[in-house]
């Protein structure tokens, strides 16, 4: 029976995408792992591979089509012996009630079970020819195997590694959760009418801007933020950084203040392990490693690539990795695993002359540090003498569901201590 190939969710926030380019044409034979097309998600352009074998019977969505919803049929795959005449008999893909959203990383292990493989009419079981051959060789009963392909179709991955004794039983899909009613808001047309007679340019929203708007609106509505502020004296760090950069010049390494901030936050999460946590809906996940995300501005939006195990890495290693991630983020070439996860984020606007600001938490992170510029200010030192110091203002935005006030204060104090005593970060 012809099988519909559906638009995949290639990132956790993807609701729709652009089918940038087909790499196969109608009549081509594909096997599992063959790259069929390139899809532009809200984050990057990614390759989409076949999960089954067959012949491309019909391409339903043309190159360059924008706004293709997740789970929309984009092509039809034919089995051995089938022809294009069989396509009209194929069942239609189920229509989604609204935009389909991929699960958050924290809930990825709790995805709903796929549909049972048996067809609604009669007793036919939908399985690819390769899956049938593997099952026959192993003596597996296909009626007892749950398919993960479109419409519950059994594919190669479902039968590989199974034996007669461990074939899984079909699982019933959980009832979908009721969607919350959206808050009333002025329509686009109503807002446009407010500006009748005024000159303006209308800018269409791309996938990234739509995702940023949706996720940050959700964050401010659902995450109970509170804010902690400290001033950090940078003179010792700037002197130490200058000395290190002179020694590293021969290796072509130049450390930035941001590299020290990443390291300081990573070590602080180890010093205050209860704050190294994320909100996971009905529980809190406490992480062991320090996986620190850093906001990177790109044209039309931003990425937050994650530097995993930051507490174990040297300053020069963090610097090199950050430069690589930032460069590929600006080219939209990051893979999903490079910007998913982490428990803590850093947003630094100091290079733009911003003295201080409050950053919005990116769920499921427990906190984000907003970093301002280092500015020369008058201070009173420990001896009561008036002096001048380079002072950087930081604000820690905290998810109160994960971190309470005293714990957040401990975390921010540890970050401040690391930055004001930079040599200790190398111990």
Per-residue pLDDT tens digits for 365-397: 999 999 999 999 999 988 889 999 999 999 999
- Same domain flag for 233 and 343: yes
- Same domain flag for 346 and 242: yes
Cβ contact 67:18 at 8 Å: yes
Number of domains in the chain: 2
Residue 203 lies in a domain: no
What's the rounded Cα separation, in Å, for the pair 32 and 50?
5
Prediction pTM value: 0.62
Range of the domain at 393: 224-426
Give the CA dihedral 184, 188, 192, 194, nearest 10 degrees.
Answer: 0
Residue 150 lies in a domain: yes
Average pLDDT of the chain?
83
Q: Give the model's pLDDT for residue 155.
A: 76
Q: How confident is the model at residue 205 (pLDDT cuts 50, 70, 90)?
A: confident
- Same domain flag for 63 and 149: yes
- Same domain flag for 151 and 272: no
Point out the least confidently predicted range of 155-169, 229-243, 329-343.
Answer: 155-169
What's the rounded Cα separation, in Å, for the pair 52 and 76?
12
Known catalytic residue at 400: yes
Pick from 64, 82, 52: nearest CA to 21: 64
Domain final residue, candidates 159, 178, 207: 159
Does 399 sit behind a cis peptide bond, omega within 30 degrees of 0 on the bond before it?
no
Q: Which CATH number do you get for residue 89?
A: 2.40.50.100
- Same domain flag for 146 and 63: yes
Q: Which CATH number do you get for residue 351?
A: 3.30.559.10
- Same domain flag for 368 and 265: yes
Cβ contact 117:147 at 8 Å: yes
- Same domain flag for 295 and 417: yes
Q: Which residue has the higher pLDDT, 66 or 181?
A: 66
Residues with Cβ within 8 Å of 28's Cβ and at least 6 positions away in sequence, in order, are 55, 56
Domain final residue, candidates 112, 131, 159: 159
Q: Which of 151, 337, 365, 400 is catalytic?
A: 400
Residue 55 lies in a domain: yes
HEC letters along the chain: CCEEEECCCCCCCCCEEEEEEECCCCCCEECCCCEEEEEECCCCEEEEECCCCEEEEEECCCCCEEEEECCCEEEEEECCCCCHHHHHHCCCCCCCCCCCCCCCHHHHHHCCCCCCCECCCCCCECECHHHHHHHHHHCCCHHHCCCCCHHHCECHHHHCCCCCCCCCCCCCCCCCCCCCCCCCCCCHHHHHHHCCCCCCCCCCCCHHHHHHHHHHHHHHHHCCEEEEEEEEECHHHHHHHHHHHHHHHHHCCCCCHHHHHHHHHHHHHHHCHHHCEEECCCCEEECCCCCEEECEEECCEEECCEECCHHHCCHHHHHHHHHHHHHHHHCCCCCHHHHCCCCEEEEECHHHCCCCCCCCCCCCECEEEEEEEEEEEEEECCCCCEEEEEEEEEEEEEECCCCCHHHHHHHHHHHHHHHHCHHHHHC
- Same domain flag for 228 and 152: no
Point out the least confidently predicted range of 117-126, 134-143, 229-238, 267-276.
Answer: 117-126
Point out the least confidently predicted range of 4-18, 124-138, 317-331.
Answer: 124-138
- Same domain flag for 125 and 228: no
Point out the least confidently predicted range of 184-188, 229-233, 270-274, 323-327.
Answer: 184-188
- Same domain flag for 155 and 230: no
Domain final residue, candidates 159, 191, 211: 159
Residue 174 lies in a domain: no
Residue 182 lies in a domain: no
What's the rounded Cα separation, in Å, for the pair 344 and 412?
12
pLDDT tens for 272-299 read: 999 999 999 889 999 999 999 999 998 8
User: Which is it for strands 367-380 and 344-348: parallel, antiparallel or unpaired?
Assistant: parallel
Residue 206 lies in a domain: no
Residue 197 lies in a domain: no
- Same domain flag for 55 and 149: yes
What's the rounded Cα separation, in Å, for the pair 303 and 319?
17
pLDDT tens for 123-175 read: 567 777 677 778 777 778 777 787 776 667 787 777 776 765 555 544 455 55
């Amino acid at each position: 029976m012809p099988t519909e190939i559906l638009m995949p969710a290639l990132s956790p926030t993807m609701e729709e995408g652009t089918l940038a380019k087909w790499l196969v044409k109608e009549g081509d034979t594909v096997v599992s792992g063959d790259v069929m097309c390139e899809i532009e998600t809200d984050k990057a352009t990614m390759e989409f591979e076949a999960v089954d074998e067959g012949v491309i019977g019909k391409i339903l969505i043309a190159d360059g089509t924008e706004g293709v919803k997740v789970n929309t049929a984009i092509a039809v795959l034919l089995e051995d012996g089938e022809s294009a005449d069989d396509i009209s008999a194929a069942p239609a893909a189920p229509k989604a009630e609204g935009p389909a959203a991929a699960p958050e990383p924290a809930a990825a292990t709790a995805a709903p079970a796929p549909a049972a493989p048996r067809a609604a009419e009669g007793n036919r079981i939908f399985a690819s020819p390769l899956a049938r051959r593997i099952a026959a060789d192993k003596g597996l009963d296909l009626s007892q195997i749950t398919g993960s392909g479109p419409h519950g179709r059994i594919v190669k991955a479902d039968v590989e590694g199974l034996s007669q004794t461990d074939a899984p039983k079909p699982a019933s899909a959980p009832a979908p959760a009721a969607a919350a009613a959206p808050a009333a808001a002025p329509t686009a047309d109503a807002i446009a009418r407010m500006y009748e007679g005024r000159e303006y340019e209308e800018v269409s929203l791309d996938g990234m801007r739509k995702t940023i708007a949706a996720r940050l609106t959700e964050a401010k509505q659902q995450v109970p933020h509170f804010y902690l502020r400290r001033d950090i004296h940078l003179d010792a760090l700037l002197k130490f950084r200058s000395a290190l950069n002179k020694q590293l010049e021969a290796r072509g390494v130049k450390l930035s203040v941001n590299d020290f901030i990443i390291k300081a936050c990573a070590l602080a999460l180890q010093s205050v392990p209860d704050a190294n946590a994320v909100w996971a809906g009905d529980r809190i996940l406490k992480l062991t490693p320090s996986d620190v995300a850093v906001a990177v501005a790109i044209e039309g939006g931003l990425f937050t690539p994650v530097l995993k195990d930051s507490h174990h890495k040297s300053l020069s290693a963090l610097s090199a990795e950050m430069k690589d991630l930032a460069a590929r983020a600006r080219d939209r070439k990051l893979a999903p695993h490079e910007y998913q996860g982490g428990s803590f984020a850093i947003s630094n606007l100091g290079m733009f002359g911003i003295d201080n600001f409050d950053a919005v938490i990116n769920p499921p992170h427990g906190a984000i540090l907003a970093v301002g510029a280092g500015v020369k200010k008058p201070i009173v030192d420990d001896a009561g003498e008036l002096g001048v110091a380079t002072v950087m203002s930081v604000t820690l935005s905290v998810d109160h569901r994960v971190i309470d006030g005293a714990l957040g204060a401990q975390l921010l104090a540890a970050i401040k201590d690391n930055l004001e005593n930079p040599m200790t970060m190398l111990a």
